[in-house]
Structure 1
């Protein structure tokens, strides 16, 4: 699966709910149409995905840490949402710098809040979606995380008819391979 499609699959559910991405209807429509296979310019999809205040900076960090030029490379996007070996190359200090530099822009976290969240980062932290949900939390203030919303935001999986299906915000995303399911568990456990 392409990185663009993978990023759209996991970004669409919270975007549709108004939690992530630009808060305009066209953003979720572009992702929805792309996922449905309608003719959508891939550059437009890239542009939309680059507006996700939390996910996109992680893609950039993971790509840079692994000397990959495209932040929407399939392995990079998979690393953030499900976990894979690329996360092992991301240094904890770079993760802290990302929070201080990328999540303190206008409309996001205050510098003091970002620094406070950085102090909660352990020495084995990884640039995985579960880390963002459980350690960093909402950077836009659009999601008020109680326990239920935290669980919905984390990528989860269920076995259905002998297949592992991933979920984000209660929406099915993809069929996982055994390795992807194992990575999701491994990198989520590293965060917990």
Structure 2
């Protein structure tokens, strides 16, 4: 029997995974793969970025279900049950879980100093895009990094076409990454977001879409995990 508690984790997973899946970046090609809790559970192992993290989080925390809401929340936003895991132990478990593969070629034991059990580490540490900065135009690597990270924002206007939000964008000065002062930008809405989003509400963005609303604690966790990852990534980029 499926309970309300069982559904929270899969629903949250689908909200954040939906945009890159629809863009064809990860997960199964079936557009209906994230339409129900049962289908989400069947599709989740095909998300080659998120799923290994959830498996390792499950193993290291003793929470049996990789799609438990506590694990899903901690992966996408940082904080929570994954925040206190030892980076070296987590890296070792993640390496054991993934084996070898080109998507993960930058994940080695040397990256343990940057490691965290969340999506922000995967974007800035494991994916290749920070290593492509400064090799030509930074526009595309910056766009991918900024789009793929989970961004907190505040809704300023809503209409039938989507939302205007105020958020901080990723910038690069010299070799270092930073977040801009808040700017207003237009985004679309994922069809899985909770109803009734209105101006003033805090929301999460992923690949140019509003994918969820945020509680104050969730936004604080996301801000904290992002700041940590930028600091550690900049140490690598600047050689400090």
Please give the TM-score of this superposition, normalised by the length of structure 2. Answer: 0.65
Relative to structure 1, the CA distance from residue 132 to residue 109 in structure 2 (aligned partners, 3 Å threshold; closer, same or farther) is closer
| Aligned mates of 1:190, 1:88 — CA distance in 2 | 11
| Aligned mates of 1:63, 1:84 — CA distance in 2 | 15
Deviations 1:147-174 (A, max 9, x none): 1111000000211122101000001111
Does the alignment pair 1:81 with 2:76? yes
- Is the Cα contact below 8 Å between 2:91 and 2:115 reproduced in 1? no
Does the alignment pair 1:127 with 2:110? no
Aligned to 1:59: 54
1:121 aligns to what SS in structure 2? helix
Using the TM superposition, name which of 90-99 and 60-69 deviates more: 90-99
Does the alignment pair 1:175 with 2:225? no
| Aligned mates of 2:86, 2:49 — CA distance in 1 | 18
- Is the Cα contact below 8 Å between 1:121 and 1:135 reproduced in 2? no
* 1:30-179 equivalent positions in 2, closer than 5 A: 30-31=33-34, 34=35, 40=36, 42-105=37-100, 108-110=103-105, 113-115=106-108, 118-122=109-113, 125-137=115-127, 146-160=141-155, 161-179=199-217
Instruction: Give the CA deviation at 1:65.
Output: 1.7
Instruction: Give the CA deviation at 1:98.
Output: 4.1
| Aligned mates of 1:83, 1:52 — CA distance in 2 | 18
Please give the TM-score of this superposition, normalised by the length of structure 1. Answer: 0.79
Partner of residue 29 from structure 1, selected from 27, 32, 40: 32
| Aligned mates of 1:176, 1:3 — CA distance in 2 | 15
As a proportion of its length, which structure holds more strand?
2
Instruction: Give the CA deviation at 1:178.
Output: 0.8
- Is the Cα contact below 8 Å between 2:147 and 2:208 reproduced in 1? yes
As a proportion of its length, which structure holds more helix?
1
Larger Rg: 2
Aligned to 1:10: 16
Relative to structure 1, the CA distance from residue 3 to residue 84 in structure 2 (aligned partners, 3 Å threshold; closer, same or farther) is same
Pairwise CA RMSD: 2.2
- Is the Cα contact below 8 Å between 1:79 and 1:85 reproduced in 2? yes
1:174 aligns to what SS in structure 2? strand
In the alignment of these two chains, the number of paired residues is 171
